[in-house]
Amino acid sequence: MQNLFIRIFLASWAQLTVIVILAGWAGYYTHQRMEQMYSNFEIDEVILRASEVLGTQGITGLKVWLENINNRDLYPYRIYIINQNREDILGREIPRRIFNWQSHFDQPHHRRDFMKNSVGRDNNLLPRNLRPRNFVPMLIGPNNQNFRVYTVPKETSFSGFFNDNLRWLIFIFALLMSLFLSFFLSKWYLVPFKHFKDATLKISEGNLETRISSAISGRKDEMGELARDIDAMTEKLQRFNQNQQELARNISHELRSPLSRMQVALDIAKQSNGNNAEFDRISKEIETLNEMIEYILKYSKMDQASTEVASLINIDELIADVINDIKFEYKNNADQMNRIILESEKNILFSGYEDGIRSALENIIRNSIKYSPNNSSIHCKVENISKKIIISITDEGKGIKDSDKEKFFEPFYRHPSAQAGDSTGTGLGLAIAKSAIEWNKGIIEAITTKKDFTIKITLPAYK
């Protein structure tokens, strides 16, 4: 069957058919038991004796006789004599099925069957106070009181409970059967969706080598078609991603060659003509282009990071090392005399990719130095809270508008203050930081307050 609708339809139909058949079989079985028990009823000596006792000794003698019969356990069944108030004359609890049976045989078609079977029967031989009525013998007592006589097979308490509650047991059994079938059918339906969920989750995390299980993609129905379409889509994404990375590497390589030649020519020109402002400007632009190429290469490599092996990292030691490197880098820069203050708990461990975390921290701290006022403080705080590592880097800069939060970490986004003034920078630093944090299964966000601006990184703590 290649049509999923047909499979679901037939499965549901089969389930309902099984339930109906079971319920019908149980109902038919119950009906047959009642038919056999009452249709084959004959006035035996016990009933005749009850009639005789009632006629000679009255209702009191009938009670004594009935109690003796039950106590002596002479017959394989129990005798119930029910008065007009539907009460047993001995005050016993009456099995529910007695009333169910009588209601069943009081139906019009059973009355007709009884009258048909009564034709030819010699009722003149019966005592005057005994009348067979609709498969159930009736005793006529003093003052024309009516007593119906029922015989119920002796049974264990379990079988008695079963017979008394048969209709409810049938209902419960059918309900449980439907639940059982529905559960396994639902599990069977959801198997392909679990494969789809697992595969798409891996694809969203950047693992483009993921493919749907062949057990699903090999099917001939709509699920198989969907699995093959997802595999084809993933294969195309993987190919496009590889082409993009290859293009970025090739462009970067091709750009570096002329930049290197320009730098050599510039050095020769400086030796021939001496140093001047124009040469310094050209040298600065060459340096900016080289930096941009380096960032483009680093950003394109983030997509290949899933092939690397994670390692155990001491976060507080790593961020201290990054801060020391940046302090040394800006040591002789009079325009960047910011104080970097580290506040961290000790021995905070994280399982991830050190190069990515280091690159993210370097870019974020450099960004804070660049856009915060000179001689201001930059606070780096590391905490381990509820199995999460929280890294907060706070500066005294103006921050960003709420409307810019979504694009703040996008490639080539430039802060408005940078566009108005200094044009240095590539616009890729925070995009690289975001990719690196997400590569390590973390979250990065920007928080602006009236006093300061914070980049908050959340990473899963090492278990």
The H or E element that residue 105 is part of is: helix 96-105
For 141, phi and psi rounded to 5 degrees? -100, -170
Q: How much is the pLDDT for 29?
A: 65
CATH topology of domain 308-460: Heat Shock Protein 90 (3.30.565)
- What is the CATH architecture assignment of 41-164? 2-Layer Sandwich (3.30)
Residue 122 is predicted with a pLDDT of 47
Non-local (6+) Cβ contacts of 254 within 8 A are none
pLDDT recorded at residue 394: 93
> C-alpha dihedral over 220, 185, 227, 212, to 10 degrees?
-120
Q: Which residues contact 271 (CB under 8 A, 6 or more apart)?
A: none
The pLDDT value given to residue 180: 78
Give me the residues paired with residue 393 across strands: 380, 455
Residue 182's Cβ-side half-sphere holds a number of Cα atoms within 13 Å equal to 8
Query: Do the Cβ atoms of 192 and 7 come closer than 8 Å?
Result: no
Q: Do domains 41-164 and 308-460 have the same CATH topology?
A: no
Using only the alpha carbons of the chain, give its radius of gyration: 46
3-state SS assignment for residue 101: helix
The residue among 370, 372, 361, 386 whose CA lies nearest residue 444 is 361
Q: Which residues of the chain have pLDDT under 70?
A: 1-9, 26-44, 73-76, 97, 100-136, 153-167, 171, 252-253, 295-296, 298-308, 334-335, 414-426
> Helix, strand, or coil here: 321?
helix
Q: Determine the 3-state secondary structure of 344 from DSSP.
A: strand
Q: What pLDDT score does 298 carry?
A: 67
DSSP state of 77: E
C-beta separation of 375 from 337 below 8 A? yes
Q: How far is CA 17 from CA 24, 71, 189, in A?
A: 10, 48, 19
Please state at what angle helix 96-105 crosses helix 108-118, rounded to 10 degrees: 80
State the Cα torsion 310-314-320-322 to the nearest 10°.
-10
Q: Other CB atoms closer than 10 Å to residue 102's CB: what's the count? A: 18
Element (H, E) at 444: strand 443-448
Domain boundaries defined on the chain: 41-164, 308-460
CB distance 30 to 23 below 8 Å: no
CB contact at 8 A, 437 and 382: no
According to DSSP, the residues that pair with 69 across neighbouring strands are none
For residue 368, give the nearest of 338, 327, 391 by alpha carbon.
338
Given this model, what pLDDT does residue 382 score? Answer: 92
For residue 431, what is the DSSP state? Answer: H
Q: What is the pLDDT, as a whole number, of residue 165? A: 64
Write the single-letter amino acid at 415: H
